[in-house]
Structure 1
């Protein structure tokens, strides 16, 4: 006793966040305890002003009888804008123990009302600097500061992307701010603490402003100016002094403007930088800007401004090239050893005017030459012109590339010195939450590939690829991968932001664009539009985020009603355009669409989305809608069976994906065992190879395992030959490919047209690896991993061990197992304030050891064990929090989960 503490305090998913933009933020904490089986029974929250005086709190909840410790809503008086609050929590457990107060945490609000903005959008005066110039802008303002600064904050954003400087120093390590949103509806602004950067007397603030997604040519026609034709900045600096007075410096027509060394920069094509054009000290007080142009205010909306929601993009890792070489074509090339997303930073000494050109690519061709074909029109090129004044270091400011190999032209000397180059990995800075490993190193490499693919493609939006002239937020890709994504990384803020964009872009009739943000204009494919339902529900499942679910409910409902309005049968979706089982291997020659009939796929997703909508309505207390959409789901399922399942219980379409979707979405009823058997036989007849595309693959191994064919699923995973996950690894893949045969067995490529080597969709197999191979899952009835379901399915004789961990909102969950002869050892770690059901397949009660003690030997259970029962699967053990070890000789009973 006496070891109960509340720790890891977060506000709106973040630790000590700056710039909270919600009026009733939600607070979370984790429990640590010195015993097993700990549940929270009550909590007390206290919020104080920034002085931390809890004797005079802003709000004290008093003791609240509740087990809630995740996303607990602040319940005090209305919060003030631009204000820091200090908070703490204490808890009581189910044994009556009272914790001490936690260490205090802080959160600070941002501008909670748009009327508080006094800054104006500014750009260089059009009469002095061409608004359409390719060159990035420099904007600056000199100002004076009194003695006694207590704190200073800048609230800033851009129509474009920007870097912010105060007195010559970058104010943040965030990159490509303000990120990419549906700018016409929502534009994020950022909050920065610049207290330590100010000094009494003369000061200056500067903005380096590039095109970013706002003005770059995007999508297939590379149409410029999708959102606007002028870059602009918005900056508001608030200074608070020790004497209580305040001053503000805001962007207006008094600022000065110029161009600088970035002469060209776009998302797809790269950046051109002439170091001879650098303006030393341009953001420092005292810089002579008499020859600079005036700024002018421009009319851009203020009502679209929203506080930062997503994790910011940062450089999260640096890697050194592993080799340099000369290709058969004579090119000097760096090998980074990893297909990465970000940029190269290099250092050199060279005469003024020396031009270095970097061209980035993912793979080499079969002859060993660097391959640019799959980039299509994207240049991914950096051009640097040296200043010639000693040692120079440079990395691009306003773009990113997807690459493993870099062709270097113009480098002085005969060889490329490896120590002159470093790769800076960039993505949304999501905390890592999941890890998986097993006895097969090829599968461990697959897990690394999945994570690298997610990092590269979760650069502010969930993109389809990071290298070619696309990099779009495809809704279908996001929905098939989201479950795996949320195991790997904390995606709460990431998907909150993206799903708000989806809702904003949704059509008046409920239709959903193919991509979000929508820069191509097309919409409404099954499996793609269903992201409007599947993604909010999945975020709720992983984090218990009812507020976001409620916010997006109307969007979910609108999509289902859109489907319902299609065609002349409201329970079948057999009209309109659909991508189908995209790039499945059973497609006809020359087609990207698999052989599974598109009406079958569309109706299956219709059933799935209507079911999830009904469940969401139930969670939100919308009882009429829950019943209404429950009935709709039942009718769609019946229509599916009538249309796509024969009288003798077989699918009318004999494709792998047809069987998979019928089973995954529980559409088959009594025919399910027959259909599962058919699927298993299809896989075996095909030599343990799959033929599925984007929609069938994510569920393939899951349904095989759940219907009793886990051996087949594991053999499918470990398949070395084409097609399969391990095949790409045999070809040197360090990320997930878009096509199973991106590189063919003879070394040639699938196609230049659409052949990304960093495309996360097929990485959706990771969900099965976490949930079935390692057995780390949540109870289907309780969100957020509050109630765990731990049921490893072991390795079909092909894997001898597996281990995984997941850092949930309640704490770290771990599962592992290994086989040794006829014995199985399972370990589980359950965080405080949660419980778990552990299913030990093939175990018998009389032969089960827990923590080294034979169960039932003295008629008692180890601490934390609540019950033990024999089942058809083996043994089920109900446990509370703590670490447990299970050991038994298998009885060999492994029936289907379904």
Structure 2
């Protein structure tokens, strides 16, 4: 029989620079295989070899590689064969990788940086050039270079760019760990003189970041660490890297920042600065930096790369010297502009997600700082470049990232042609895993809009949006289900969760975003908003759980377990020790259940709920708040404090206690997966007590809910808060609330992803389809009708008249893919077995659809399901990957179990209006 395929290492294909000494392997079973009964791994690391022999196991995901502890820079090769129900396989093609530098003593290079006598103001700090020479005196057989930075770096060797990673080394909890990239530079190293060069800028490390846009979050000095190993035939190596003999200069990049953009004068780029030979410019000695305390490790996530280039679909010239470019798609990245005009021409490039309502200019409102306190000197999302002349280089600002569909170019002598301007989509290089098509092309379009939305938001962390804050907000807990259907987010999730845990406070508080640049300043910094909010902090539990469900990584659950328990224990402690003043006044003697109510603290609540319960913000809001503050923000400090006070005065128990229950319940299940039976029982009892407290407070005597909103009813159903006997009543009331709102959603960011699946699973499939296909305001279709190419932060991000509101790329409403995949096409995870080892195919036709199909690449292989309903017959075709089983449920209620391979089923459609079809 054939061999296992697709050998993977941890969460990625085999690669250079791994720092996990005992990595895990995953593979896919040979076609037609139902069950793996045993595996055998053999491998070689350096001059050591091993063979596990046959290991009785059905596991093919995250399997210990079986070899010795690996050493620094050691090359490794592994192959696997399996025994299955179909016999013994051949050996797989080997997976090959190399280890990185594992120990601090492996680093002979020094941390260096520009010797800034005085640090320039934030937003005006250059992308410094750093340069070092070294000599190789005899032939080499291989060469590797290892690099990282406190800041962003681009690496060059002998005048050529090294690697294809962008925005390296990425965004991490820099106080705890830094990611190191490894590159194969064998072909670039020469006999004789060589030069390593780098461009070093602020990046996330000391640039403006997050909603507060305060600089110097992780430090006030950038630094670079590079080490090259050139290996010779005799087993020796030439080692070179950063050190005190390196030199620094300011070249073309005069300023580089995520929010302030890039300013460059291409006339000032020293020719050949990263190549051997003499070089012009004002080069000065570098400063040697202290070694950071952070650990140097490889990243489990794929790198950020240039993923796609887009040409303009339209260019207009509203006035001389000004061009408006439409790329036809909202994206995260930058623009490459060629043909910059005569030497000395100054051009400004302003990026925007929308146009002004009259269509004559770009609308930069979505890139404005939160609270409007700060506007970059060059303008919102604006880069600036000075041309080196007609034969000079193109401009490509690789040390920033913008969110945009439209570009305004000011200063170009024109005409600006389509071949001169290119939008470059730059995001984490996540493998795509999900595709969907159906008989309604609008739903196909929604699916692609969701794909672009999720792809744009993934930039080494799962950002909430792509223009305003660029932070790894913990709302990823609401968005991961949809994201994982379209892309492989296993490595991104593992990477981000390590950041979350590293920045978690000792008392268990989860910060609102991870990594957190402010660190200890989070309590006192300007515009500080309290961390540890319900629904947000719960990502510490939800994201590991949902990642495990999709990919089956028990090790991730084990690693994150201390973070999860710390969060739930912190919430339990707050619930036990604090009472809301209103509840204390109403009941001086607390009811026994109150120790399980989370009713205090600052919470966003059902953020951006279309029609929330009315309660005005404190009247202390300053009248001048609508104006921009570019130099000071005293009024805004006062306003922020007033908002915090106001929000903390509210009783959030119905909202926060629901998430408390959910996290405790999930943690009980996670403890069970990990074999921690005592914890499973303890957190299970806690979840029972929290649910009982919620029911005592928020279920009325007649069985209704005291908080009569769509969101509360959704949480009650989705999180199992109402007794089984009340589920139908609760679902019916939810439907009534939707009808009372004009058959429009009334959900904010936390519960929109629940809306359609909960309706469909609780007897209101027809209403779910009606909401999905409804047009007009507050609908999914409004994105298409109003020209959106990504989902918006609010339901009506772009109005019919072109007016915009808040961010225009936010993944909450992209969660519609959960319904498209799981109900329209019908492929859903098993509630118990992870990674689609067992899954359900249960199409729920409706909305006038006559066919639908979905393709999903799960860890075991490709799942395909497609149905058609025509001429009174329902037909379904399903492809099941090796090693998995599908439970197939047809609209007439008939069931079947399908093993690996292709299958066809047929049935009569369920009668219209049955709630089943």
TM-score by length of 2: 0.89
Residues 129 and 293 in structure 1, CA contact (< 8 A), matched pair in contact too = no
Determine whether 1:295 maps to 2:314: no
Deviates more, 1:132-141 or 1:222-231: 132-141
The correspondence for 2:571, drawn from 563, 579, 583, is 563
Partners of 2:501 and 2:118 in 1: CA distance: 40
Q: 1:641 Cα deviation (Å)?
A: 0.9
Residues 857 and 863 in structure 2, CA contact (< 8 A), matched pair in contact too = yes
Task: List per-residue Cα deviations over 1:345-365 (Å, max 9, x = no partner).
Answer: 121152210112111111112
Q: 1:776 Cα deviation (Å)?
A: 1.0
Per the alignment, in what secondary structure is the counterpart of residue 739 of structure 2?
helix
The correspondence for 1:708, drawn from 753, 756, 763, is 763
The correspondence for 1:507, drawn from 505, 508, 526, is 505
Q: 1:267 Cα deviation (Å)?
A: 0.4
Partners of 2:157 and 2:250 in 1: CA distance: 18
Partners of 2:907 and 2:894 in 1: CA distance: 10
**Residue of structure 1 in register with 2:448 after alignment:** 448
User: Quick one: structure 1 residues 349 and 577, their matched pair in 2 at CA, closer, same or farther if it must change by over 3 Å?
Assistant: closer
The residue correspondences of 1:406-555 to structure 2 (distance < 5 A) are: 406-413=407-414, 415-468=415-468, 470-475=469-474, 477-519=475-517, 521=522, 522-555=530-563
Task: List per-residue Cα deviations over 1:609-665 (Å, max 9, x = no partner).
Answer: 000000010011101000000111111111111111112221111110111000000
Partners of 1:42 and 1:894 in 2: CA distance: 49
Determine whether 1:244 maps to 2:298: no
Partners of 1:128 and 1:709 in 2: CA distance: 65
Deviates more, 1:240-249 or 1:657-666: 240-249
User: Quick one: structure 1 residues 776 and 832, their matched pair in 2 at CA, closer, same or farther if it must change by over 3 Å?
Assistant: same
**Residue of structure 2 in register with 1:159 after alignment:** 150
**Residue of structure 1 in register with 2:372 after alignment:** none
User: Quick one: structure 1 residues 184 and 799, their matched pair in 2 at CA, closer, same or farther if it must change by over 3 Å?
Assistant: same
Deviates more, 1:342-351 or 1:876-885: 342-351
Q: 1:309 Cα deviation (Å)?
A: 2.8
Partners of 1:717 and 1:597 in 2: CA distance: 33
Residues 270 and 281 in structure 2, CA contact (< 8 A), matched pair in contact too = no
Q: 1:892 Cα deviation (Å)?
A: 3.1
Per the alignment, in what secondary structure is the counterpart of residue 631 of structure 1?
helix
Determine whether 1:643 maps to 2:694: no
**Residue of structure 1 in register with 2:162 after alignment:** 171
**Residue of structure 2 in register with 1:42 after alignment:** 38
Per the alignment, in what secondary structure is the counterpart of residue 356 of structure 1?
strand
Partners of 1:130 and 1:463 in 2: CA distance: 28
User: Quick one: structure 1 residues 767 and 50, their matched pair in 2 at CA, closer, same or farther if it must change by over 3 Å?
Assistant: farther
Per the alignment, in what secondary structure is the counterpart of residue 416 of structure 2?
coil
Residues 124 and 131 in structure 1, CA contact (< 8 A), matched pair in contact too = no
Per the alignment, in what secondary structure is the counterpart of residue 747 of structure 2?
coil
Determine whether 1:184 maps to 2:175: yes
Partners of 1:589 and 1:384 in 2: CA distance: 48
Task: List per-residue Cα deviations over 1:849-878 (Å, max 9, x = no partner).
Answer: xxxxxxxxxxxxxxxxxxxxxxxxx11101
**Residue of structure 2 in register with 1:779 after alignment:** 830
User: Quick one: structure 1 residues 160 and 746, their matched pair in 2 at CA, closer, same or farther if it must change by over 3 Å?
Assistant: same
User: Quick one: structure 1 residues 746 and 295, their matched pair in 2 at CA, closer, same or farther if it must change by over 3 Å?
Assistant: closer
User: Quick one: structure 1 residues 265 and 346, their matched pair in 2 at CA, closer, same or farther if it must change by over 3 Å?
Assistant: same
Determine whether 1:214 maps to 2:210: no
**Residue of structure 2 in register with 1:310 after alignment:** 301
Residues 43 and 63 in structure 1, CA contact (< 8 A), matched pair in contact too = yes
Residues 136 and 208 in structure 1, CA contact (< 8 A), matched pair in contact too = yes
**Residue of structure 1 in register with 2:589 after alignment:** none
The residue correspondences of 1:469-868 to structure 2 (distance < 5 A) are: 470-475=469-474, 477-519=475-517, 521=522, 522-566=530-574, 567-568=578-579, 569-587=594-612, 588=614, 598-669=652-723, 670-750=725-805, 755-794=806-845, 796-842=846-892
Per the alignment, in what secondary structure is the counterpart of residue 4 of structure 2?
strand
In the alignment, structure 2 segments of 5+ residues that lack a partner are: 369-374, 523-529, 580-593, 618-642
Residues 218 and 517 in structure 2, CA contact (< 8 A), matched pair in contact too = no
Q: 1:605 Cα deviation (Å)?
A: 0.6
Residues 347 and 386 in structure 2, CA contact (< 8 A), matched pair in contact too = yes
**Residue of structure 1 in register with 2:909 after alignment:** 890
Residues 536 and 548 in structure 1, CA contact (< 8 A), matched pair in contact too = yes
Per the alignment, in what secondary structure is the counterpart of residue 19 of structure 1?
coil
Residues 129 and 248 in structure 2, CA contact (< 8 A), matched pair in contact too = yes
Per the alignment, in what secondary structure is the counterpart of residue 720 of structure 1?
coil
In the alignment, structure 1 segments of 5+ residues that lack a partner are: 52-56, 843-873
Residues 50 and 86 in structure 1, CA contact (< 8 A), matched pair in contact too = no
Task: List per-residue Cα deviations over 1:43-83 (Å, max 9, x = no partner).
Answer: 111111358xxxxx622111122221111112222111111
Per the alignment, in what secondary structure is the counterpart of residue 205 of structure 1?
strand
Q: 1:310 Cα deviation (Å)?
A: 2.0
Partners of 1:49 and 1:215 in 2: CA distance: 39
Partners of 1:360 and 1:590 in 2: CA distance: 35
Q: 1:374 Cα deviation (Å)?
A: 2.7
Task: List per-residue Cα deviations over 1:571-613 (Å, max 9, x = no partner).
Answer: 11111111100001112487799xx973111111111000000
Q: 1:721 Cα deviation (Å)?
A: 1.3
Q: 1:488 Cα deviation (Å)?
A: 0.8
Determine whether 1:373 maps to 2:365: yes
Residues 598 and 652 in structure 2, CA contact (< 8 A), matched pair in contact too = no
Residues 828 and 840 in structure 2, CA contact (< 8 A), matched pair in contact too = yes
**Residue of structure 2 in register with 1:20 after alignment:** 18
Deviates more, 1:739-748 or 1:12-21: 739-748
Partners of 2:40 and 2:709 in 1: CA distance: 56
Partners of 1:804 and 1:748 in 2: CA distance: 35
Deviates more, 1:219-228 or 1:710-719: 219-228
**Residue of structure 1 in register with 2:900 after alignment:** 881
Q: 1:280 Cα deviation (Å)?
A: 1.1
Partners of 1:635 and 1:608 in 2: CA distance: 12
Residues 39 and 94 in structure 1, CA contact (< 8 A), matched pair in contact too = yes
Partners of 2:420 and 2:751 in 1: CA distance: 45
Deviates more, 1:322-331 or 1:109-118: 322-331
**Residue of structure 1 in register with 2:224 after alignment:** 233
Partners of 2:844 and 2:770 in 1: CA distance: 13
Q: 1:291 Cα deviation (Å)?
A: 5.2
Per the alignment, in what secondary structure is the counterpart of residue 58 of structure 1?
strand
Partners of 1:719 and 1:329 in 2: CA distance: 43
Q: 1:687 Cα deviation (Å)?
A: 3.1
**Residue of structure 1 in register with 2:9 after alignment:** 11
Residues 580 and 597 in structure 1, CA contact (< 8 A), matched pair in contact too = no
Residues 600 and 652 in structure 2, CA contact (< 8 A), matched pair in contact too = no
Per the alignment, in what secondary structure is the counterpart of residue 888 of structure 2?
strand
Deviates more, 1:113-122 or 1:354-363: 113-122
Residues 216 and 225 in structure 1, CA contact (< 8 A), matched pair in contact too = yes
Residues 714 and 798 in structure 1, CA contact (< 8 A), matched pair in contact too = no
**Residue of structure 1 in register with 2:328 after alignment:** 337
Per the alignment, in what secondary structure is the counterpart of residue 743 of structure 2?
coil
User: Quick one: structure 1 residues 375 and 698, their matched pair in 2 at CA, closer, same or farther if it must change by over 3 Å?
Assistant: same
User: Quick one: structure 1 residues 275 and 704, their matched pair in 2 at CA, closer, same or farther if it must change by over 3 Å?
Assistant: same
Q: 1:504 Cα deviation (Å)?
A: 0.8
Residues 707 and 896 in structure 1, CA contact (< 8 A), matched pair in contact too = no
Q: 1:381 Cα deviation (Å)?
A: 0.9
The alignment covers a number of residue pairs equal to 848
Partners of 2:802 and 2:338 in 1: CA distance: 35
Residues 790 and 837 in structure 1, CA contact (< 8 A), matched pair in contact too = yes
Residues 322 and 412 in structure 2, CA contact (< 8 A), matched pair in contact too = no
**Residue of structure 1 in register with 2:99 after alignment:** 109
Residues 256 and 289 in structure 1, CA contact (< 8 A), matched pair in contact too = no
Task: List per-residue Cα deviations over 1:679-726 (Å, max 9, x = no partner).
Answer: 122223333211110112111111101112111111111111111111
**Residue of structure 2 in register with 1:866 after alignment:** none
**Residue of structure 2 in register with 1:397 after alignment:** 398
User: Quick one: structure 1 residues 896 and 545, their matched pair in 2 at CA, closer, same or farther if it must change by over 3 Å?
Assistant: farther
